[in-house]
Structure 1
Amino acid sequence: MKKSKLYIADKGRFALFMIVMTIIFTSSMNLVFRTDIAEGAVEPQYDEICIKPGDTLWALAKKYTPNHKDVRETIYEITQINNLKTSDIFPNQVIKIPIHE
């Protein structure tokens, strides 16, 4: 018995079918393996601090940084959250500081 070969009549239609199937497969895998909707996805929490004379960003970051984390990472987070261009802070300025659990 002779095996028949598979013949693709319309290569353009086949290519389109393969692209659509790839998109569907990728999207479904994305939904299955999403981590942000997993149990316990938590919104970041912040403390709002009013800067007092003599406060420095380094001292505040050191106070709020857990032992297992580098203070420089907290400083970077604070500058990003508060849209600070430099590490200069001023009395009576209110800034958000991330709370790490």
Structure 2
Amino acid sequence: MRTDTATLLPFPAQESTRDGAAPRARVRLEPTRRGRALLTAAAFVLGLIVAAAVLLVVALPALAGTEGDQPVTITVQDGDTLWGYAEQYAPEGMGAQEYVAELRAENQLPTGRVTAGQQIELPVLEDSAR
């Protein structure tokens, strides 16, 4: 069995020169003005994406249910009564008499009578079942 010997050459050291030239100093790369602007814009867009994702994933109680908290103003039509509004708009678990009392207090109505064309605000009440 025959074995041959191979000659291994070492890698050149960094200090060594090519073709007799002086060794190259370490180069420090710095972004240009355009490069800095591009990096800033990319970071800003990434921040917007992360903020949008957080808002979509996290249910914020401050934003939830704000739509229903606005008072509703209605114009009374011929034949409408406070009792009819109580049957239609009273929250679950609240009696019609209680709702009429709240409605009168909200609109400072001395009696339970309303006239056509009159505008009244419906009270914003939470469900009693909650």
- Give TM class, smaller chain: 0.5 to 0.7
Whether 1:59 aligns to 2:59 is no
Secondary structure at the counterpart of residue 58 of structure 1: helix
Higher relative contact order (CA 8 A, sep 6+): 1
Q: Give the counterpart letter for 1:84 in structure 2.
A: L
**TM-score, reference length from structure 1:** 0.53
Secondary structure at the counterpart of residue 66 of structure 1: coil
**TM-score, reference length from structure 2:** 0.42
Q: Aligned equivalents of 1:55 and 1:47: distance in 2?
A: 16
Q: Identify the match of residue 118 of structure 2 among 90, 93, 98.
A: 93
Question: Who wins on radius of gyration, i.e. which is larger?
Answer: 2
Which structure has more helix as a fraction of its residues? Answer: 1
Runs of at least 5 residues in structure 1 that lack an aligned partner in the other structure: 1-38
CA RMSD after TM alignment = 2.0
Relative to structure 1, the CA distance from residue 62 to residue 72 in structure 2 (aligned partners, 3 Å threshold; closer, same or farther) is same
Runs of at least 5 residues in structure 2 that lack an aligned partner in the other structure: 1-60
Deviations 1:24-53 (A, max 9, x none): xxxxxxxxxxxxxxx97x9x6421010000
Deviation at 1:100, TM superposition (A): 3.1
